[in-house]
A = this chain, B = another copy of it.
Amino acid sequence: MAMDIREEIPLAQRQRLVAFAHELLAESRRVIAQALAYGFSVEHKPDGSYLTSADVAVEARLRVLIAARFPDHGIIGEEGSAIRPAAALQWIMDPIDGTEDFVHRLPTFGTILGLHYRGAPLVGAVDHPLLDLRLTAAYGLGSSRNRDPVRLGDIENAVPDQAIRMMLSARANFTRHEDRGSWFDALTRRFPNHRIYRSCYAHACVAGGQADVMVEVGNRIWDLAAARLLVEEAGGRYVPVQDLEVAGVGRVLGAVFGRAGAVERVLRTLAASPMALE
């Protein structure tokens, strides 16, 4: 079996990198707390989604900290242009995922952070300041929830579909760049115990075992920067189901992830939907 390319990064360095991710998220919590306490400006992006001065401030601050510590690393963020796109190590961030929740003070917004090595995730984290909830993982070092180790058990075949706790993107995500609405319709019919939360919090629920499986479609790379590693390091499964280049937008991604048996069941449902036949 071929060595995983991520073994090229020594264990001790991976430990230092995940410690640095904790430093970054402590700083993003400070910037977010200041914005909530002293106010922030709100505008709308061309696609109708929210952008606040807090999103911009968090990303700017994390970019400064990364550049100061690791001047040769690349940076990809939702609110700025890519820095050093050819670097082997790339920090990928969504400074505030669920900005609309942040604007309306719903505590389910959060920061998504990933560090990828030649395209493979090395460190991943999602952080929810108002819920005091942080999930982190590093390649080969396992996954943790507020520093407690997480293991995702499997789902037995005997567990009925209605007992599967499923997280979904909103239906609009399934149709935004290509029409996979039939997937949404099939999933909401077959799995009655479904919920639709913001990406970041839904990822935290699945990676922490509070939900069994998530189906994400129509996402950008920063939305999914942490999910794969969080789930795989906890013993779960992550399967890409969408990867397309959209003119004027960029790369659009989808994935199914969570407990292995639940992921299997979802993949069978998607394979049986009309979309998969095209």
Interface residues of chain A, those whose CB is within 8 Å of chain B, are 48, 100, 104-107, 131, 160, 162-163, 165, 168, 170-172, 181, 184-185, 188-189, 192-198, 205, 209-211
Most buried by B among A104, A163, A168: A104
If A163-B48, A165-B100 touch, does A197 touch B194 (CB 8 Å cutoff)? no
What are 25 A-B contacts defined by CB distance under 8 Å?
A48-B162, A48-B163, A100-B165, A100-B193, A104-B209, A104-B211, A105-B210, A106-B205, A106-B210, A107-B131, A162-B172, A170-B193, A170-B194, A171-B188, A171-B189, A172-B193, A172-B194, A181-B189, A185-B185, A188-B188, A194-B196, A195-B196, A195-B198, A196-B196, A197-B197
* Nearest B residue (CB) for A106: B210
User: Contacts of A170 on B, CB cut-off 8 Å?
Assistant: 188, 192-195
User: Contacts of A181 on B, CB cut-off 8 Å?
Assistant: 189
User: Contacts of A48 on B, CB cut-off 8 Å?
Assistant: 160, 162-163
- Copies of this chain present: 2
Contact B184 A188 (CB under 8 A): yes
User: Contacts of A198 on B, CB cut-off 8 Å?
Assistant: 195
Give min CB distance, A101 to chain B, whole Å: 8
User: Contacts of A188 on B, CB cut-off 8 Å?
Assistant: 170-171, 184, 188
User: Contacts of A107 on B, CB cut-off 8 Å?
Assistant: 107, 131
* Nearest B residue (CB) for A166: B170
Taking A100-B193, A106-B205, A194-B196 as given, write out 13 further A-B residue pairs in contact, using a Cβ cutoff of 8 Å, ordered by the A residue number. A48-B160, A48-B162, A104-B209, A104-B210, A107-B131, A168-B196, A170-B193, A171-B189, A171-B192, A172-B193, A181-B189, A185-B185, A196-B196
User: Contacts of A195 on B, CB cut-off 8 Å?
Assistant: 170, 196-198
Q: How far is the CA of A171 from the CA of B190 in the complex (A)?
A: 10
Contact A171 B194 (CB under 8 A): yes
Q: How far is the CA of A211 from the CA of B194 in the complex (A)?
A: 19
Q: How far is the CA of A100 from the CA of B194 in the complex (A)?
A: 12
Q: How far is the CA of A102 from the CA of B117 in the complex (A)?
A: 38
Contact A192 B172 (CB under 8 A): yes
Q: How far is the CA of A195 from the CA of B109 in the complex (A)?
A: 13
* Nearest B residue (CB) for A47: B162
* Nearest B residue (CB) for A191: B172
